[in-house]
Structure 1
Amino acid sequence: MYLTIRAIVFGILLSFTWAVVATAQNGGDSKKNNQSNTTDQKSQPSTDAYYLVDSLNDGIPTSDSSPDLSTPLATVENFIFACREKDFARAAQSLNFKLIPQDQRDQAAYLAENFYYVLNQRLWVDIEDLPDRADGQVINRIGKQDPMAGKPRKSIRLGVINIDDWKEVRVRLQRVKVGDGVPIWLFSAQTVEKIPALYQEYGPSWVEEAMPAWAKTRLAGKVPIWEWFALFVFVAAGVCVGYVTQGVAGYAILHRQRKERLWIERLIDDLRVPVAVASAALTTYLLKQAFLSLTGPVNTVVDPVMLLVVVGAIAWAVLRGLDVATSFTMDRYVNTLKDDIEGAEQGLLTKISIARRLVALVAVFVVVGVVLIQLNIFDAVGYGLLASAGVTTVILGIAAQPILGNLLAGLQIAITQPVRIGDSVLFEGHWGHVEGIKFTYLTIRTWDKRRLIVPLQYLISKPVENWTKVNEDLTRPIKVYVDYTTDVQIIREKFQEMATQHELWDQDSEPIVQVTDCSDESMEVRALCHAKSPADAWNLHCEMREKLIAFVQDLESGKYLPRERIRMLSETAQGNGKQASHSDR
């Protein structure tokens, strides 16, 4: 079953990887271009890397100078530098107003100003990564391989800005050509069309508009003074909320008198730090989202970091809660390894232990995923990176087989439960109790206090004796070797007498004594010891063996102990044909 599950999962991973690679290599670039094309933009054959349009930016105010828009880098630089110089009419030359109504194009400079404000707030454009070629080609550099290298492009995505947490605006550059003119690069018509919505979402708040001019002076990270001050105030408020939360939790612990609810105090004590951190981070994050939008690249770092702290603290609190529940239950039922632990409780503990680790693993993936989504990492890498990393993904998948195998083995153990926490097992000659089940291994505490660490994948592929799988009672054999002249019935009666009088004997079972084997000098007598637990069975059969051997030794002064018989033939006896003498030893 395990091998089947492993093969299916690994096959799915390989199939998915190759499907993504094929999609990326064959359809990724085509998909991007199709999304960027509109009904009034007629694309040329694939050999022409530009969009052919009938007209361009008719009706917008003209600028005193003609900007350089021949390359993606030149277009972005013209827009940024012109906006910094407050020449928004020249900055508007970098925008494609094809989808803006004709009667609104006189507001081109105003739209350019609004677009610059939004970009400054929400998008970090690294101009060093923009190609400075008319055909938009990129050149591979040492340590950075681009799958689009050497291919002419007519559309380049700079990033994504979210609206209302579910609408996305893709900020793109497109290469367009009017008639027989020279192709130029502009911010796409689809991007320009969304400027009013973007500005409405991320435009200056009433707080920013009320600030005096000196408070808007930009300092470190190109962030105004008032924004740094507001961020400091919000962080201080969050810290205060965290301290109050921790103080309330401490007060609740000190003033509880009900000792029978000790686990509640333990839960509160373990949760107060992560809950305090989560409260502080969440308060700071909500205040910032409501009243503050940091300017420039600082915002692209602060938001994900704050969200990481919030999500991480919540995940920390959840894991702490699971830890308390697991530890409390194990302290009560398992850590003492009592023999009266119920099978249902063992199964529950096993499921809790494995579920806790699976939840921890999921929590890590969720935290990392949230941060990557907030950073738009998936949008940044695009299909090209997936295509270039396809082979690497397959190699990593093969290398991760042992880890994946152990994780799947842990899931299989949780479902089928061949062993459970607290079970008494014999594995490859080592007897002990299952002390814990981790992500990838299982711990067996042996009878001599050693810890045997067994990988889960190895465990389920090898035979293991579980002495408490169905019930606790166990039978242990005793083997005693006696002479052929021994009356076995005497031994049987003595064993029955000793068994019924022993406190560890399971009174529901009858003492059994049998002759199970023989050799040239002796016969093997086996007595079966029955006890209600593996530990009792071990101690019982050791004591009964000792007493049974002592009984045989004392029986007629050891007459029935195993002995070796030697026949001695003298030369005279051999010559006269007389019966040879013999002696016992």
Structure 2
Amino acid sequence: MVAMTGMSGRRMYAWLGPLLGILLVGLLCLMPLMAVAAAEQDSSSWYESELDVTGSSKGAEGTNRRTPRETVRNFVALTEAGEYERAADFLNLADLPPSERVARGSDLARQLGLVIDRQLWIDWAGLSARPDAMRDQGSANHPLAGQARRDIGLKMVKVKGQAYEIRLGRYKSEEAEPVWLFTPQTVENIPILYRAFGPHRFEVYIPTPLKQRLGGLRLWEWFALPMLLCVLLGLGFLINRMIRWLGHKAKSPVLRQAAEKTRIPLALVAMAIAAQLFIKLGVSFSGPATNIVRPLLVIIIVSGLGMTVLKIIDAVLNRVTLRMIGEIDDTRSIKKRELYTSIYALRRVVVLVMVAASVIVVLIRLNLFESLGITLLASAGVVTVLLGIAGQAVLGNIMASLQIALAKPVRIGDSVLFEGNWAYVESIFYTFIRLRTWDERRIIVPVKYFISQPFENWSVKDARIMKTITLFLDHRADITLLREVFIELAKQDEGVIDHHTLAANVTRHTRGGQEIAFYAMSPDPSTAWAMAMRLREVMLDHVRTHHPDWWPSERIDADDVNARLAAAAKETSGPSAD
């Protein structure tokens, strides 16, 4: 037994030795490949650059460039202090000839510092403080979370229709650690950006003490912004009054209505354009003010122009409606009511198109597609859920309104009976329907609720309506005589058409009397309502004058009276004595 164990142990050691040797040789062969892979992975986190481009003062105080946040913070601090030669160490001057780098570097740093001061509202918390600029792993919605970056965009601006970007890149030379610098493309675009966003002509007249900073803005800006607002409000008031005066002088009703409706949007547009011209030609505000004022002016101009176009289209459509159709009600033909409903549908389509176009223009003008695209795609599910919950009622009403515009189960001017109210459909808006009752009341009904409830459309095919006039008379009333009288009187009424449809019948019979219904056809519900009132009055007058005994009277059964008297006598006598 011992001998066998020794033999198996010798065999195991015999093949284990060669196996370990093979593994060791394989590991030695893989080490160079792993080193190359690691080097390739590290090199993907930066760009290779020359030593004189990355600079030799990276260890000096105030010029730390290990992270994007350090680079931007120190560059801004140096340019504000006027140390442009040191600030040039933050620029990648690889595209400049070596002989010009020292001479032009400081001037380019000065120009870029002024552009950043006037165009960037720096989000310090958003700038990465990591050397590899890796996004936080907690940003699960961002597709680049957990990946190292070697370039970062700070600002995208447009000059004369061309896009220019201020961007940082990570560069490494053979004998130095990686540093973050403004990219050569940014350096190349500095003169263009400086001419577009640098100091303007009137800034030279501003006293030096007023150029000191206070709360993110220069002192003179705290005075200039309120003064600019007051001037713009005065300009808007004058333009508003001028457009109103021109509208009163216009002979065309369309021009008068368009001027009245567009004077406020046009005043806003003029104010925004004047503010943009002042900023472009007069002075250049700091980054925080610029990043608030410029987008606001773009939004005001786009929305104001959109509202102006909508008001003009609305005025034209109103004029066309009044000229071709006039005041709409159920007396108008079906084609006119359908045309009126189609015009309202056209208005809604125009509004939707203008709103969508305005939003797209604002996004393009503010360069928001690039910055918001990934975020919107990543959060599309959340936005969909929120819209589904918060905007369910509004979206449902809008879809119901479009359904009415397309299917036309009810048209503007139709006479309907909705929840016991006889009314005309006066207007169909995005979210509600306005009904006008016969007594000039207005009933506002959500479109979705209106469509989901049953209603009677008395004008769906033809405005004609059969009106029923009901009288309750005694058993002695002669239905044959009343029928002849009603037909004769109805033929003389101007609101009755189709005389062959005139009829009278007993529709109900009780102990108290009989119910008699008279039927007459009218061309439309409003005429039918007035006609029914007149015929009811004349029929009542006929019964009152010629047959007063036909009025219903209460009949008492003798047996019932005796039973009631006996019960009353028993109650008054009280309980019997024992």
TM-score, normalization by structure 2: 0.72
The 3 A distance-change label for structure 1 pair 64 and 556 is closer
Question: Does 2:159 align with 1:164?
Answer: yes
1:396 maps to 386
Moved more, 378-387 or 273-282: 378-387
Aligned partner letter, 1:503:
E
Kept after mapping to 1: 8 A contact 2:496/2:520 = yes
Provide the C-alpha distance between the structure 2 equivalents of 1:145 and 1:335, rounded to a whole number of angstroms. 60
**Counterpart pick for 2:424 among 433, 438, 442:** 433
Q: Match of 2:117?
A: 120
Partner of 1:445: 436
- Offset from partner CA, 1:358-413 (integer Å, 9 cap, x none): 655665666666556555555444524642x3442132132123211211221222
Structural RMSD (CA): 4.7
1:43–1:50 Cα contact (<8 Å) kept: no
In the alignment, the residues of structure 1 paired with residue 145 and residue 239 of structure 2 have an alpha-carbon distance, to the nearest angstrom, of: 58
CA distance in 2, matches of 1:193, 1:481: 98
Once residues 341 and 155 of structure 2 are traced to their aligned partners in structure 1, the CA distance between those partners, rounded to angstroms, is 45
Q: Is residue 66 of structure 2 the alignment partner of residue 76 of structure 1?
A: no
Match of 1:575 in 2: none
Aligned with residue 512 of structure 1, among 482, 499, 502: 502
**In 2: Cα distance, 1:262 partner to 1:353 partner:** 20
Are 2:492 and 1:497 aligned? no
Aligned mate of 2:465, from 468, 474, 499: 474
Q: Distance in 1 between matches of 2:144 and 2:315?
A: 54
How far the C-alpha of 1:456 sits from its partner, in A, is 1.0
Unaligned runs of 5+ in 2: 1-35, 560-578
Post-superposition shift, 1:501? 0.9
Per the alignment, residue 168 of structure 2 pairs with 173
Instruction: Note the alpha carbon deviations across 1:529-578, whole angstroms, 9 max, x for none.
Output: 1122202212323443454466578777757989999999xxxxxxxxxx
Distance 1:333 1:309 in 2: 36
Are 1:284 and 2:271 matched, yes or no? Answer: no
- Which region of structure 1 is more displaced relative to structure 2, 221-230 or 116-125? 221-230
Letter in 2 for 1:396: L
1:55 equivalenced with 2:87 (yes/no):
no
1:183 CA drift (Å): 3.1
**Aligned residue number for residue 580 of structure 1:** none
2:28 aligns with none
SS in 2 for 1:194: helix
1:415, distance to aligned residue in structure 2 (A) = 3.1
1:425: how far off?
A: 0.8
8 Å contact from structure 1 (residues 483, 560) kept in 2:
yes
Does 1:195 pair with 2:190?
A: yes
- Does the aligned pair in 1 maintain the 2:51–2:174 contact within 8 Å? no
Higher relative contact order (CA 8 A, sep 6+): 1
The separation in 1 between residues aligned to 2:206 and 2:324, in whole angstroms, is 67
- The residue number in structure 1 matching 2:27 is none
Mapped to 2, the partners of 1:262 and 1:154 lie a distance apart of 63
User: 1:519, 1:243 → 2: CA distance?
Assistant: 74
Over 3 Å counting, the alpha-carbon distance change for 1:287 and 1:348 in structure 2 is: farther
CA shift in 2, pair 1:384/1:267, >3 Å: closer
- For residue 429 of structure 1, report the CA deviation from its aligned partner: 2.6
472 and 483 in structure 1: CA distance in 2 versus 1, 3 angstrom threshold? same
1:18 aligned residue: none
Distance change >3 Å, CA 44–CA 243, structure 1 → 2: farther
Structure 1 position 198, deviation (Å): 2.9
- C-alpha separation in 1, matches of 2:156 and 2:53: 28
Higher alpha-carbon deviation: 361-370 or 89-98 = 361-370
Q: Distance in 2 between matches of 1:426 and 1:552?
A: 31
Query: What residue number does 2:91 align with?
Result: 95
Specify the SS of the correspondent of 2:106: helix
What's the counterpart of residue 23 of structure 1? none
Which of 405, 414, 420 does residue 414 from structure 1 map onto?
405
How many Å apart are 1:82 and its aligned residue?
2.4
Q: Deviation of residue 292 (structure 1)?
A: 4.0
Distance 1:293 1:373 in 2: 22
1:349·1:421 contact (CA, 8 Å) conserved in 2?
yes
Q: Tell me the secondary structure at the aligned position of residue 192 of structure 1.
A: helix
Residues 335, 484 of structure 1: alpha-carbon distance in 2 compared, 3 angstrom cutoff = same
Compare 190-199 and 373-382 and name the one that shifted more.
373-382
What letter corresponds to residue 89 of structure 1 in structure 2? E
Amino acid at match of 1:433: Y
Q: Secondary structure at the match of 1:51?
A: coil
Indicate the residue corresponding to 2:239 in structure 1: 245
Question: Residue 183 of structure 1 aligns with which residue?
Answer: 178
Q: Deviations over 1:429-461 (max 9, x none)?
A: 321122332321112233355433322122223
Specify whether residues 281 and 147 from structure 1 end up closer, same or farther in structure 2 by C-alpha distance, changes over 3 A only: closer
What SS class does the counterpart of residue 305 from structure 1 fall into? helix
Alignment match, 1:577: none
The number of residues matched between the two structures is: 519
C-alpha distance in 2 between matches for 1:309 and 1:129 = 28
**Structure 2 residue corresponding to 1:296, chosen from 282, 287, 301:** 287
Give 1:250 deviation, angstroms. Answer: 4.8
Cα distance in 2 between the residues matched to 1:195 and 1:339: 69
Distance 2:321 2:308 in 1: 20
Structure-1 residue corresponding to 2:14: none
Q: Compare the two structures and name the one with the higher helix fraction.
A: 2
Distance in structure 2 (CA, Å) of the matches to 1:245 and 1:553: 70
378-387 vs 78-87, greater mean Cα deviation: 378-387
SS in 1 for 2:294: helix
- Cα distance in 1 for residues equivalent to 2:190 and 2:479: 102
How far has the Cα of 1:421 moved from its partner? Answer: 2.9
Match of 2:302 among 306, 311, 314: 311
Amino acid at match of 2:121: W
Gap change, CA 1:323 and 1:169, over 3 Å in 2: same
Label 1:487 to 1:535 Cα distance change in 2 as closer, same or farther (>3 A). Answer: same
Letter in 1 for 2:120: L
CA distance in 2, matches of 1:514, 1:173: 93
CA contact (8 A) 1:43 1:51 kept: no
Deviations 1:455-508 (A, max 9, x none): 2122223333222344433221345678999876544432221111113222x5
Cα distance between partner residues in 2 of 1:239 and 1:397: 36
Contact 1:60 1:105 in 2 (8 A): no
